[in-house]
Structure 1
Amino acid sequence: MKLKLYQWIPVLLIVIGVFYSSSQPYQKQDVRPEIGKYVDLEKVEKNFSDVKIHYAGSEVSVEARGAASFIEFFIRKGAHFTVFFALGFFSFRALRISGNRTWKSAAIAFVLVASYAAFDETHQNFTENRTPHVEDVVIDITGGTTAILLASLIYRNRPIKKTSYRNV
């Protein structure tokens, strides 16, 4: 297996971005004022007043949180899924291009995603006004696993390039 370090650059950038984001208190990431500028909150209240979700021991609804917080909840959870989707995809890709078989790349990428998801939530425990949630780890792992499965389909029939040690 020939390790191709440049393939790990996207993974490293994602990990650094997640770490930085988790280091910020909630107030620095609060997008509710921006949501209020661009979204008709009265329409949200009218159209989603019956939607109630129970997440991490509390109710997520327009009634319980207000329209802007209701929207922000979905933006935040979508960000969890999307960022860990990217982490899973690029981890798998770097492992596969480095010469690992598809199943081995998938297994290692899964362990990386799950471990970093757990680390990220633990890290938030030490950040002011942030609360770690097991549910967020589940969303992260779901995003990463979805990407790993997709990448496995994309890369499954690509041949592994054998590198001669004489040419290294």
Structure 2
Amino acid sequence: MLWTLLVFDLSQQTFREQSIQPFLHKLVPKEEIHAYIPDVTVRYSRAVIDSQSEPYRFVEFLFRKTAHLVVYAVLALFAYAALYPHGMKRPCMFIISLLYVTAIALCDEWVQSAAAMRTSAIQDVVLDTAGGIVGLGAAVWVVPWGSRFVRRRFSSRRWNADL
């Protein structure tokens, strides 16, 4: 639940509050940044970003889209983990978690549409859902393993033996 609140808190921030471009300007001079990025033009939603003419904007774009993937992967993992103790079957937990992630992504874009200097894009919902699928792939493997580890570590027999 806290991770979901973090998603919505980030959605309400202005573009300027989230911008990493000032940091990038201090980190790498414009003359040098071209050595680190390919010559690429990206069309995303209504934006066209040319890496050579707008290198800082291009790096920030990559950073933001990677953040979408990571944040929603973690959200999906947490959603799956929250359902795990309820004894549901894995396919059901997977579907419910994916629906939750997609619903949050849709709401996130709706909130962004009202935030100052922010735009909403259906491509971000697709990207967020893809991040959720990646997170669920990890959850299918990690959650049962973590659950077994916790049960073994804190079983009553072992707990009493440690005291």
TM class, shorter-length: 0.7 to 0.9
Give runs of aligned pairs for residues 135-154 of structure 1, distance below 5 A.
Answer: 135-154=123-142
Closer, same or farther in 2 for the Cα pair 1:49/1:147, shift >3 Å?
closer
The structure carrying a bigger helix percent of its residues is 2
**Root-mean-square deviation (CA), in Å?**
2.1
TM-score with structure 2 length normalisation?
0.82
Q: Which residue of 2 aligns with 1:103?
A: 91
Aligned to 1:38: 27
Residue 91 of structure 1 is matched in structure 2 by 79
Q: Which amino acid aligns with 2:73?
A: F
Structure 2 unmatched ranges of 5 or more: 152-163
| CA distance 1:62–1:90, change in 2 (3 Å) | same
Count of aligned residue pairs for this structure pair: 148
Whether the 8 Å CA contact 2:40–2:52 is kept in 1: the answer is no
Q: Supply the distance in 2 between the matched residues of 1:50 and 1:43 (Cα, whole angstroms).
A: 14
Q: Is the 8 A contact 1:102 1:155 kept in 2?
A: no
Equivalent-residue separation in structure 2 for 1:47 and 1:16 (angstroms): 35
Alignment identity in percent?
28
Aligned pairs for 1:110-125 (under 5 A) are 110-125=98-113
Q: For 2:28 and 2:86, how far apart are their aligned partners in 1?
A: 45
Kept after mapping to 2: 8 A contact 1:92/1:105: yes
The answer for the alignment partner of 1:23 in structure 2 is: 12
Q: Which runs of 5+ in 1 are unaligned?
A: 1-11, 162-168
CA contact (8 A) 2:98 2:133 kept: yes
Considering Cα pairs closer than 8 Å and 6+ residues apart, tell me whether 1 or 2 has the greater RCO. 1
User: Equivalents in 2 of 1:42, 1:98: separation in Å?
Assistant: 56
